Amino acid sequence: MERLDKVLANMGVGTRKEVKQLIKKGEVSVRGMVAQRADLKIDPEADELWVGGKKIVYKKHIYLMLNKPEGVISATFDPRHRTVCDLVPEEFAHFKPFPVGRLDIDTRGLLILTNDGKLAHELLSPKKHVPKTYFAKLDKEICKEDIDAFEKGIVLDDGYKTLPARLEEGEGGVYVTIYEGKFHQVKRMFNQVGKNVTYLKRIKMGNLTLDPALSKGEVRELTKEELDCLWTL
């Protein structure tokens, strides 16, 4: 059971103070009765809530897709740079979503944000080997040996040998799929075969593909189908 004012504030109805005012004015009803107190204990999953003639559809978790632009940091707060959370519109921000994993400041593309720690854990667990596909531009052409080397696993500068990765030629760049998420992994893998990454964009995570209609910096909620495909990895 939770306090009525807290639930309504979490659903984005207003600040705690605004919600209290609405309750005082008799604008809020719970299970068909006008609520008298802000501290009324309710079951948000079961109790029907109305505010000013509008039904409040309760949800606990939010799942967002962001097309991350370069220049923003994958964190909830940073003293110097804009973060991915700064790009989340107010209608979703009150759920306090956080990024699932990290993309470098100069990496673009698919980033999931959620307030569901369980999904984040599933996607980031090193045991799960969730595939992540990137489109990269390099300063040199790749060759057959590079594809084979990625397929075998690359020994990084710190001695760690990556899991086998898939490298393919694409139009104007290459596609690379990795099954783990070491620090700067894609850039470091290419460095080991003598190439520099000049552009990096994540286009897929698990079965979820970046929506090509989502412009840079744009955020939208995942559809039910997209969410289902993330849970069933």
Q: Which two tokens mark 175? A: 């596609």
Q: How far is the CB of 185 from ligand URA (least distance, A)?
A: 4
Cβ contacts of 8 within 8 Å, gap of 6 or more? 14, 19, 22, 28, 49, 51, 56
For ligand URA, the binding residues (CB under 6 A) are 103-104, 107, 184-187, 200
Which residues, 6 or more positions from 74, have their beta carbon under 8 angstroms from its beta carbon?
68, 83, 84, 99, 101, 102, 103, 104, 111
| Closer by beta carbon to ligand URA, 64 or else 200 | 200
**Looking at beta carbons only, is 16 or 187 nearer to ligand URA?**
187
- CA dihedral 205→211→216→217, nearest 10 degrees, is -70
96 token code pair: 């306090």
Rank residues 187 and 204 by Cβ distance to ligand URA and give the closer one.
187
- Which residue of the set 104, 106, 139, 146 is catalytic? 104
Nearest one of 66, 71, 104, 64 to 214, comparing CA atoms? 66
> Could you give the count of Cα atoms lying within 13 Å of 2 in the half-sphere of its Cβ?
15
116 as an active site residue: the answer is: no
- Shortest Å distance, C-beta 62 to ligand URA: 23
Spell out the residues 6+ positions from residue 81 whose beta carbon is closer than 8 angstroms to its own: 71, 72, 73, 105
Residue 197 Cβ vs ligand URA, minimum distance, rounded to whole Å: 7
Q: Which is nearer to ligand URA, 119 or 156 (CB)?
A: 156
Q: In whole angstroms, how close is the CB of 127 to ligand URA at the nearest point?
A: 19
Question: Could you list the active site residues?
Answer: 104
